[in-house]
Amino acid sequence: MTDPAIRLLLADDHPVVRAGLRAVLETEPGIEVVAEAATAEAAVARAAGGDIDVVLMDLQFGGGMNGAEATAAITARPPAPRVVIVTTYDTDADTLPAIEAGATGYLLKDAPPQELAAAVRTAAAGRTTLAPAVADRLMNRLRTPGTALTRRETEVLALVAEGLSNQAIGARLHLTEGTVKSHLARVYAKLGVESRTAAVATATELGLIRR
């Protein structure tokens, strides 16, 4: 008796990407693509149907809910399917929210087909798969926790990189301007810099934020 096929939901707002994932995975034995979703909201709704084992989730959608928010919504409902993020982004600002949201795996879109299929099988078995670049960065965070930015510090710095003032960042994140300044002071100390420009440049170079 053969094991039942792993049932997949592909969630990505680009039809070409979904078609590419489908073409790669449908040739794999024991894997069946049963549904696609073009929005994060549609992925959450479809994943609740009870017939999905693994969701391959993009991080950035055209509007509305993002991939990390969708992952949190999907994994909050038992019995939840496993979620594997498949994206082009590997910065801390992207990986940490997704992993905190409950993603079982995190792969980059340039991963070879066999790696993608292996990640699906690993996720279906309840184990974790991380792209090497992501795994290395997480290990470095664990080895040097004093220099790692918190999720909130990363969010603040990402908005600095977008050119927002402290006041505008506070409004966006529902923080006081003083709290924003405190977060930035800790960021400067951790990165060994003294200005917004230097903080953004250093964080970009280290892969902490995306430009």
The model's pLDDT over 30-62, given as tens digits with 9 standing for 90+, comes to 999 999 999 999 999 999 988 999 999 999 898
Same-domain check for residues 102 and 192:
no
Same-domain check for residues 12 and 73:
yes
Cis peptide before 145 (omega within 30 of 0): no
Give the lowest-confidence range in 6-15, 160-169, 199-208. 199-208
Same-domain check for residues 160 and 61:
no
Same-domain check for residues 90 and 155:
no
Domain termination residue (choose one: 91, 107, 140): 140
Same-domain check for residues 55 and 153:
no
Same-domain check for residues 136 and 163:
no
102 in Cβ contact with 83 (< 8 Å):
yes
Same-domain check for residues 151 and 136:
no
pLDDT, tens digit (0-9, with 9 covering 90-100), for 80-136: 999 999 998 888 778 888 888 999 999 998 889 899 999 999 999 999 999 888 888
Same-domain check for residues 155 and 127:
no
Same-domain check for residues 36 and 122:
yes
Q: What percent of the chain has pLDDT over 70?
A: 97
Token code pair at residue 197: 């420009």
**Structural domain for 167, as ranges:** 146-205
Could you tell me where the beta strands, DSSP code E, fall in 25-160? 31-37, 54-57, 82-87, 105-108, 129-130
**DSSP 3-state assignment of 121?**
helix
**Residue 8 vs residue 148, higher pLDDT:** 8
- What pLDDT score does 105 carry? 92
Same-domain check for residues 99 and 45:
yes
Same-domain check for residues 28 and 89:
yes
Mean pLDDT throughout 160-170? Answer: 94
- What pLDDT score does 146 carry? 67
- What pLDDT score does 133 carry? 80
Instruction: Give the CATH number for residue 127.
Output: 3.40.50.2300
Q: If you average pLDDT over every residue of the chain, what do you get?
A: 90
- Would the pLDDT of 79 be above 90? no
The residues, ordered by sequence, that sit 6+ positions from 178 with a Cβ below 8 Å of its Cβ are none
Global pTM reads 0.75
Q: Say if 210 falls within a structural domain.
A: no
